[in-house]
Amino acid sequence: MQPLTFFATAAKGIETLLAEELKQLGLSQVKETRAGVYFEGTLVNAYRACLWSRVANRVLLPIAKFRAISDDELYSSVKKIDWSRHMLASQKLAVDASVSNSNIRHSQYAALKTKDAIADFFRETTGERPSVQTDKPDLQINLYINNDEAQLSIDLSGESLHQRGYRTRGSVAPLKENLAAAILYRAKWPEIAKQGGAFVDFMCGSGTLPVEAAMMACDIAPGIEREYFGFRGWRQHDEKDWISLLEEARARRVEGLKQPPKVFGFDHHRPSLERAEQHVSQAGLGDVVKIDYQDVFGFQLDKTQTGLAMTGLVVLNPPYGKRLGDENELSALYGEIGKVLMNHFHGWKVAVFVDDQAKGKDLGIRANRIHALYNGALACKLLHFDIEETNILRQYRLPRLLSDEELSEQARGFSNRLKKNLKKFKRWSDQENISCYRVYDADLPDYAVAIDLYQGEKLWVNIQEYEAPKSIDPDKAKVRIREVVSIIKETLGLDESEIFLKRRSRQRGSSQYEKLAAENNFKVVPEGNCQFWVNFEDYLDTGLFLDHRPLRLRIATLSEGKSLLNLFAYTGSMTVHAARGGARRTLTVDMSRTYIDWSKRNMQLNDQTGENHRFLRTDCLSWLAKPTEKKKYDLIFLDPPSFSNSKRMKQVFDVQKDHVRLIEQAMSLLEKDGILFFSSNLRGFKLDGSGLSDYLVNEITAQTNPFDFKQRKHVHRCWEIHYLT
């Protein structure tokens, strides 16, 4: 038997998910296209799609294609079809139509002409004509006209498949059920559920996301409770096949409910909670989905009591601006959501569905993945987060500031130390013409932060909070950081937008270079006779290592007429200083496309362009082992990471174990009278002098450790390395 071709429609942005889902249902010849997916098979395959697809809107069976350049041509082509194969004259009929880029411009008129043609077919062949019924007709016809080409289909679903049957008639939800399912697919809920993870939506409204999550995890067909499908009144419908599929789905539901996941829905709106409980009950999930009261403001959760002493997935669909109104109120709400996530869901995966990606900044957590989805005609973003504190540095929302009366006695001690430091470093920075420097570095044990000033067109403050020992009460640590930010804002007279707060934890590998966000808010700051782009929000470091300032100035004075090789170049600041110092040629090498592009922008900012200044994006370790470069260099700057096991590198690198080999490889590219500068910020690093006995090695750490970093000894160690004469 020749397979039939079907078309499953989907909302914009969901086509790929639908194609993947249909393949998992065992359907063949799946082909994704605009607004849906084609597939081939028997009627049983189409029934399976209607019963099991969580993201499709409708399943259509195309029965005719023809040209329809006019209403008469449409009418005659429809009337030629043998409609007695599809319905009886006594049955009820409905037609929905859509038109685009065609002579026939009005969809309602096209639907009317189609109805007339079908009615006239029956009147002429039977003496009767079917009546029209828009709600749950016996036969639903779909007409689509594009560029004057018409496709006529039987709508096997009859009405949108998002209508599962568990929602109370007349209740309006911010999310349709199939969009909720798409969000869950994108958030990888099926995989998390299989691993035993729990599900939480603490802004669940009428319960759509928790119900869909439970149905998905318990292998419950989304259409199992639907009373109406379009194919039930179609003359070619095979009831026996349909009943067989239903029995299979019911058996799978029984099996799936034997080991249900933990699914929770919370909300502060009592009427919404009542509807959510009703929907859970009507879906037959009363023993699976727990609905309870929680307010985001004042959120308290006893995980032992609820059985949530595990990790899993949090999915939220918070109010959009249009739904809440006041932007300040909305910003406060999103900030509180972020606090709930960080305080109560450490180790969890999180997905938040928003109408504006910028709201991620109000959450105070950086998204690691973003998907575009549409809620009706509204373009939205699904932001994905890992709620993890270890090994990352995050820019996050500034805490609520404290008034002077709320400050502790210890805070006043911090305030006095900060003011003293500001006065001392201001005098020094003015004398040395330095615009970016550190003014405080954990001087007082109770206030373990580093504070850097960056003076550009404005004064910006970058605060890095060091990770507190586990012995420190977390609540006390939060109060201290609020005191720090409040005092800095008041002392320097800054706006909150000019203060950036980050938490610095222990770093492994190249994690300090990983991107944390995508704000792209770059600022320009000066250093010596150079200028640099810095970024306070998107990365662990700003793009300018302040402790290397004296070394950059040292290399600048040596560069006139010389050549420079900058390895592990980061944002190319050393290259910029060399070029501005008169270097005749430079090569900047880094593995990251982001940092090579940043280096180029820094060079352009300083008018240092041209073929003499080259950039190479490659793994420095592999390149040094077998360099493509034949030219040698007068100056080489080598500042490798302390450790790296990056997937982009072909080998694991440990600077303590591997520095001799690395230096020797770099020395092969050095001119006989040249200088290699080697730097490492690994705490406790020891240079293997015996392994480098063929060279003249001179430590210059004291000369390159700047005045503003004297508080933190050995922020880096640095050596000049020459060939023996």
Predicted confidence (pLDDT) per residue in 83-113, tens digit: 999 999 999 999 999 999 999 999 999 999 9
Which amino acid, residue 443? D
Q: Of residues 717 and 502, which shows the higher confidence score?
A: 717
In the predicted structure, residue 518 carries a pLDDT above the cut 60: no
The predicted-structure confidence for 546-555, as pLDDT tens digits, reads as follows 999 999 999 9
Count CB-CB contacts under 10 A for residue 425: 18
Structure confidence at residue 509 (pLDDT): 40
Average pLDDT over residues 338-345: 86
- Give dist(CA 121, CA 716) in Å, integer: 88
Examine the domain organization and report whether 493 and 412 are in the same domain: yes
Give the residue with greater pLDDT, 519 vs 98. Answer: 98
CA distance 530 to 602: 9
* Same domain assignment for residues 102 and 213: no
- Using pLDDT thresholds of 50, 70 and 90, give the confidence band for residue 649: low
Q: Which of 145, 141, 159 is nearest to 87 (CA)?
A: 141
- Mean pLDDT in residue range 163-174: 77
- Quick one: what percent of the chain has pLDDT higher than 70? 91
Contact of 55 with 19, CB cutoff 8 Å: no
Residue 545, pLDDT score:
95
Within this chain, do residues 51 and 109 fall inside the same structural domain, yes or no?
A: yes
Tokens read off for 381: 């973003």
In a domain, 239, yes or no: no
Alpha-carbon span 401 to 488, nearest angstrom: 10
Question: Residue 513: what pLDDT?
Answer: 42
Give dist(CA 656, CA 678) in Å, integer. 13
Q: Which residue spans within 431-584 are E strands per DSSP?
A: 436-441, 449-455, 459-466, 499-504, 522-527, 530-535, 563-567
Contact 102, 146 (CB under 8 A): yes
188 — alpha (psi -120 to 50), left (phi > 0) or beta? left
DSSP-derived pairing of the beta strands 459-466 and 449-455: antiparallel
Q: 164 near 157, Cβ under 8 Å? A: no
Q: What is the 3-state secondary structure (H, E, C) of 79-147?
A: HCCCHHHCCCCCCEEEEEEEEECCCCCCHHHHHHHHHHHHHHHHHHHHCCCCEECCCCCCEEEEEEEEC
Q: How many CA atoms lie within 13 A of 248 on its CB side?
A: 11
- Rounded to an integer, what distance in angstroms lies between the CA atom of residue 531 and that of residue 550? 15
> 276 and 203: one domain?
yes
Same domain, 369 and 328: yes
Does 384 share its domain with 408? no
* Cα distance between residue 395 and residue 399, in whole Å: 12
What is the Rg, in whole angstroms, of the alpha carbon atoms belonging to the chain? 33
Domain CATH for 464: 3.30.750.80
The secondary structure of residue 501, as a DSSP letter, is E
Binning pLDDT at 50, 70 and 90, where does residue 404 land? confident
Mean pLDDT along residues 115-133: 95
As a whole number, mean pLDDT of residues 219-245 equals 96
Residue 329 lies in a domain: yes
| Cα separation, 420 vs 417, whole angstroms | 5
Is the separation of the CB atoms in 599 and 527 below 8 Å? no
Binning pLDDT at 50, 70 and 90, where does residue 393 land? Answer: very low
Residue burial 377-390, b: 16+ Cβ < 10 Å; e: rest: eeebbbbbbebeee
CA–CA gap between residue 20 and residue 16 (Å, rounded): 6
Q: What is the mean pLDDT of residues 254-267?
A: 94
Whether 95 maps to a domain, the answer reads yes
Cα distance between residue 62 and residue 6, in whole Å: 7
Q: Which residue, of 483, 506, 529, is where some domain finishes?
A: 506
Exposed/middle/buried for residue 39 (C-beta within 10 Å: 0-12, 13-18, 19+): buried
Q: What is the pLDDT of residue 646?
A: 55
How far apart are the C-alpha atoms of 474 and 470, rounded to whole Å?
8
pLDDT for the residue 645: 62
- Burial bucket for residue 68 (CB in 10 Å: 0-12, 13-18, 19+): buried
* CA–CA gap between residue 192 and residue 184 (Å, rounded): 10
Instruction: Tell me the range of 570-584, 677-691, 708-722 where mean pLDDT is highest.
Output: 570-584
Which one is predicted more confidently, 629 or 676? 676
pTM: 0.59
The answer to whether position 306 is within a domain reads yes
Question: Which phi and psi angles does 23 have, rounded to 5°?
Answer: -65, -40
**Whether residue 142 is found in the same domain as residue 184:** no
Cβ neighbours, 10 Å, residue 504: 19
Which of 567, 563, 576, 521 is CA-nearest to residue 662?
Answer: 567
- Supply the pLDDT for residue 171: 58
Range with the poorest average pLDDT among 157-161, 321-325, 674-678: 321-325
pLDDT at 538: 74
* pLDDT tens digits, 661-675: 999 999 999 999 999
Residue 373 lies in a domain: yes
Cα separation, 30 vs 352, whole angstroms:
30
Is the residue at 253 inside a domain?
no
Read off the CATH number of the domain in which 189 is found. Answer: 3.40.50.150
Same domain, 667 and 608: yes
Domain count, the chain: 4
Spatial contact of 573 and 602, defined as CB atoms under 8 Å apart = yes
Task: Report whether pLDDT(156) > 80.
Answer: yes
Residues 352 and 264 in one domain: yes
Residues 719 and 579 placed together within one structural domain of the fold: yes
Q: Name the residue range of residue 575's domain.
A: 543-723
State the pLDDT confidence band at 520, using cuts at 50, 70 and 90: low
Q: Both 377 and 432 in a single domain?
A: no
Co-location of 147 and 193 in the same domain: no
Q: How confident is the model at residue 77 (pLDDT cuts 50, 70, 90)?
A: very high
For the cut 80, the answer to whether the pLDDT of residue 292 exceeds it is yes
Residue that wins the pLDDT comparison between 322 and 85 = 85
Maximum Cα interatomic distance, the chain, rounded to a whole number of Å: 112
**Cα–Cα dist 689/34, whole Å:** 65
Q: Kindly indicate the confidence band of residue 630, based on its pLDDT and cuts at 50, 70 and 90.
A: confident
Q: d(Cα 165, Cα 220) in Å, to the nearest integer?
A: 13
Q: Is the pLDDT of residue 195 over 70?
A: yes
